[in-house]
Amino acid sequence: MEQKALCANNVRKQYKEKLALDGVSVTLEPGHIYGLIGRNGAGKTTLLAALTAQIPVTSGEVAYGGEPVWENEKALADLCFSREIGARADSGEAALKVKDYLRMGRLFYPHWDEEYAQALIKQFGLDVKQKIGRLSKGMQSMLTIVLALASRAPVTLLDEPVAGLDVVAREDFYRLLLDDHMATGRTFVISTHILEEGAAIFERVLILKEGKLIEDTPTDDLLARFCAVSGPAAAVEAACEGFPVLHREALGSHASFVVRAPAADITARGQAVELNALSLQKVFVALCGHEQEGQA
């Protein structure tokens, strides 16, 4: 399968009152799993829709393998954007049956793998005769996952696929995703705000904040920029001196800081402190949650 990169170049999307995307440029290289994270309303869905030409952009362009995606049958045939169903429960597809939805996939996605779809349906226990609107949130998520995986599209974008899933189903999903990724080398973009498993799955993280892409970084590199420092308060203070401290906790003479500094720089201070890496979730909170960076 020949693989091409999907690029957004300075994409802006202005809704009536809101600037949903503010000059986003990103290149999705083939063969990677990207995590698209951001708070609610940060523009995740808008970005995914713009990347697949489902909404017109205000300015900027999206290209696949160097060719514009807009109204480009060849490019669109290689892309799959599996939307979150639950978010639009009152719209048309709620009245469709599961099998009708999947039939659309079979009809519209040229790389569709019916055998795979059937196997996934069986595994998830989806009732194909049920109307989509009557499925539980978890089942709706599973339907979007079946659609995305079975599309076999070289570039597949999933919008909040794990939102309605419990931890067991999430692990199942990520296992399926990795198996498929290893077997086919497809590119995946997964938007989510549930980050527990993310660090292990996403090779790169894209972080959207208020319509701006603030990070497009390999997950490891992003995590390596932060560390948690704990130990005697004086030692922690000395070790973190001069670095932006994002979060501090003190309990008696023991202190624990989250600091934006590579672990090596802290170690170099020679203080007797314990260093730990941060989870992706904590890094995300540090980047998108705390506006008062550097303050006490």
Site residues (vs another protein, CB under 8 A): 16, 32-33, 52-56, 70-73, 76-77, 79-81, 83, 91-93, 96, 104-105, 107-109, 171, 174-175, 178-179, 181-182, 196-197, 199-203, 219-220, 223-224, 272, 276-279
Query: Which CB, 169 or 212, lies closer to another protein?
Result: 169
Which candidate, 149, 143, 151, places its Cα nearest to that of 121?
A: 143
DSSP category for residue 186: -
Residue 209 Cβ vs another protein, minimum distance, rounded to whole Å: 23
Residue 175 Cβ vs another protein, minimum distance, rounded to whole Å: 6
Query: Which CB, 60 or 212, lies closer to another protein?
Result: 60
Residue 12 Cβ vs another protein, minimum distance, rounded to whole Å: 16
Residue 296 Cβ vs another protein, minimum distance, rounded to whole Å: 26
Contact 76, 53 (CB under 8 A): yes
DSSP category for residue 97: B
Query: Which CB, 65 or 210, lies closer to another protein?
Result: 65
What's the Cα-to-Cα distance from 130 to each of 7, 88, 107, 133, 189, rounded to whole Å? 38, 17, 20, 8, 28
Query: Which CB, 13 or 121, lies closer to another protein?
Result: 13
Distance of CA 229 to the CA centre of its chain: 28
Helices 98-108 + 137-151 axis angle, to 10: 20
Task: List strands edge to edge, sheet with 19-28.
Answer: 19-28, 6-14, 59-64, 67-68
Q: Using CA atoms, how far apart are residues 206 and 221, in angstroms rounded to an integer?
A: 12
Residue 295 Cβ vs another protein, minimum distance, rounded to whole Å: 26
Query: Which CB, 3 or 279, lies closer to another protein?
Result: 279
